[in-house]
Structure 1
């Protein structure tokens, strides 16, 4: 197992542990065992359990972004890309909510740390740029009317995240990704006559 492979294996094991047991009930020894490494190896890559959780969040966001790029890359039209984006986002809900719900206390600490906030802001900015490119493609191809692409991307982002937030607050286990088409059509057509 190469250096990066070990690190990724540890991140995957920790991600599963934090998503099923939460931060406090996840033990580094158990994470190491699942990853097939010694406990000390975990500490070679991550200074403590809090750092490991923080890196799991970053790793999860990177995996999400990579999966999203793969999903939307399959399509040529902006509409299909936006639909693929929305389906993917809704389908990821169960994994995202478990990790965030079980680790809320620790996540709050990360939000108070300036370097953590900067990293999260950069990651979110990258996702907004990605969505803005899809909107811009739609305007350039004539599929979408010409508007401020960033504002339109923010509207799309908000609609998708509002669905996830609603489901989380109402303790919905899973969001039907078939709802994506209705969401995208509503975003593109609005509610006016």
Structure 2
């Protein structure tokens, strides 16, 4: 069996692959993550996942490499990660009481083939008070997350409803990724 590499330093993606008992290593991608302003969100997330996978695959052509990227979209505009406290507060105020989309793109590369797909989940936030936003930002959780929140942590208290794949909001659509990995002859470790 070929070695499996996750081209991501995301602790959430690592946890998710471990949850399904995959044996893998992590190699962080140094791919350029700049986006063209006229790209549609689905094109952007697929492009980023592919660039990450390709960058690591170039150094490990004997492996099967997974690249992934997650973006938050509000009113067809991609919302990035906050650069500072004020940016996190502004993003959360913008998401308050609104529905937005979380898209996670996944690219899996081996020497014989490449597969890319994305998953979109709609997320509805509660109406958030300034106090709730300030307390959440003070926790430090928003700062490495697209849209300034993490659904798997304290950010769960901000989310009223989701329609779609919870794991995709965390950063990796597990079931879809597992099925794609099977086509590369990659399976979890037996229990």
TM over 0.5: same fold? no
Question: Higher strand proportion, which one?
Answer: 2
The TM-score, its normalising length taken from structure 1, stands at 0.29
Higher gyration radius (CA):
1
The TM-score, its normalising length taken from structure 2, stands at 0.29
